[in-house]
Amino acid sequence: MRDLAFVGFLAGLLALGIRRPFLFVLAYIYVDTVSPQRLSYFLLNSIPLSLIIALLAMGGWAIADRKDQLSFSLRQGLLLVLLAYAGMTTLYADFPVDALEKWDWAWKTVVFAIFLPFTLRTKLRIEAVLLFLTLSAASIIIVGGIKTALGGGGYGVLNLMVDNNSGLYESSTISTVAIALIPIILWLTLFGTIFKPDWRVKAFAGGLIFACLLMPIGTEARTGLVCIALLGVLMLRDVKRRFLFMAGAGLLGLAAIPFLPHSFSNRMETIQGFQADESAGTRLAVWAWTWDYAQAHPFGGGFGAYRSNHIQVQTVNTQSNGDVQVVTTATQADEARAYHSAYFEMLGEQGFPGLFLFLLINAIGLVRMEMIRRRYRRREGDEAWIAPLATALQHFQLIYMTGELFVGIAYQSFGWLAFATAIGFDAWLARRERAERKAGAGFAPQAAVPV
């Protein structure tokens, strides 16, 4: 039954796409995020759905979209270099078969991130992409939120509809994405035009944000808690009454503690006492191994290079028994442990050049959004939405990049789709400023070149 519903939904979306081909781009975002083929038992799981819709999106754009004023930004160029470089590292990878397996999906992610900004020619398209990213992720987040609220959470226990632990269905990844999405949800609630802000939109957004905040609790992913803390700090930048916000957030946090499951509190305490925690110890050991590996292989070992690691993790557990402190140490051996960090993933797989490109692309994105944010801060009327969108996209990126410290999601497509939307938004604004200047309105005081 669910299979038929998915087929009906996709058929409907694609049929509408025949009328407005941009909807194929939205369909791709949906398929890439929700992976309906993984949720179905027949029909969809037997066809290369993602590939078919990507071709429709690109074909639709090639045939039916306007190409005038098309610009190719520096970030898209850098992504292209990263793609070519990652392809090269795949050729001489330490584990050629495994490397090819990752390359097979990673290149599509990067190619679509390069392509997406070309299609974002209007403000409405930017909004539509953000809405589809949000609603697609919401289909997983709402499930997680309700199950957590009903007491079905737990580390590795929360059932997010599929058994396999990949894509957005991985607990740390969905926790990071859920928290990073909150600024975008807030922007859609204030400035959305597809669903105009009314009580229904606000009620849905409120419920969704609550579900987003429940994700780190339900999955017991410590990464999510770090992301929530950063979100709180970032929100301080724009709130009018900072002390009131801090006091409110503090009170809310304290009030929430008694309602948190005991297993969650225990797991979060391991952030401080990480020496006693094997998972954190393994992470540190893998990072140390990767750093040493990069010294010997500065150009990276290709996708899946972590498979050659052999690590030893020493855990130190201190327990007080009256006046006596009992310290127990244990050493555990492990091998082929994944990076658990996008930055070390880049360093190990694409070496220093890959990590440099990755950081550069992200840094340019952050700086550009900050420039837009400042330039349009005091604009009103038709332009009132611009600075808040730059802020929302920048906050998404900052929270996502923080999550990436602890999760190996360097090639996770959801993040790249959001970054690509920021590139498209930047290019759209540059086009608009050029047009305004040409019209002699004196609208843009600074040079506008998409970067």
Partner 1 sequence: MIDNFALGLTHCLMLLAAWRLLSRPDLGDDDAPPGPRRTWFRKDA
Q: Which residues, 6 or more positions from 221, have their beta carbon under 8 angstroms from its beta carbon? A: 155, 171, 172, 175, 176, 215
Is residue 286 a contact partner of residue 305, using CB atoms and an 8 Å limit? no
> Please, what is the minimum distance in Å from the beta carbon of residue 16 to partner 1?
5
> Please, what is the minimum distance in Å from the beta carbon of residue 217 to partner 1?
16
Shorter beta-carbon distance to partner 1: residue 205 or 249? 205
The DSSP code sequence of 196-237 is -SSHHHHHHHHHHHHHHHHHHHHHT-HHHHHHHHHHHHHHTT
Alpha-carbon span 116 to 29, nearest angstrom: 10
Where does this chain bind partner 1 (CB under 8 A)? Answer: 2, 5, 9, 12-13, 16, 18-23, 26, 30, 39, 63-66, 121-125, 128, 131-132, 135-136, 138-140, 142-143, 146-147, 150, 161, 194-195, 204, 432
Shorter beta-carbon distance to partner 1: residue 18 or 91? 18
Angle between helices 199-219 and 171-191 (to 10 degrees): 160
Q: Could you count the other beta carbons within 10 Å of the beta carbon of residue 51?
A: 12
Give the DSSP H/E element, type plus range, for residue 313. Answer: strand 310-321
> Please, what is the minimum distance in Å from the beta carbon of residue 90 to partner 1?
35
Q: Is the dihedral of CA 205, 210, 211, 215 positive or negative?
A: positive
DSSP class of residue 335 equals E
> Please, what is the minimum distance in Å from the beta carbon of residue 28 to partner 1?
13
Shorter beta-carbon distance to partner 1: residue 9 or 85? 9
Q: Tokens 């009903």 label which residue?
A: 150
Shorter beta-carbon distance to partner 1: residue 16 or 367? 16
Shorter beta-carbon distance to partner 1: residue 115 or 204? 204
> Please, what is the minimum distance in Å from the beta carbon of residue 203 to partner 1?
12
Shorter beta-carbon distance to partner 1: residue 194 or 288? 194
CA distances from 183 to 179, 354, 368, 388, 395 (A): 8, 29, 17, 9, 7
> Please, what is the minimum distance in Å from the beta carbon of residue 39 to partner 1?
8
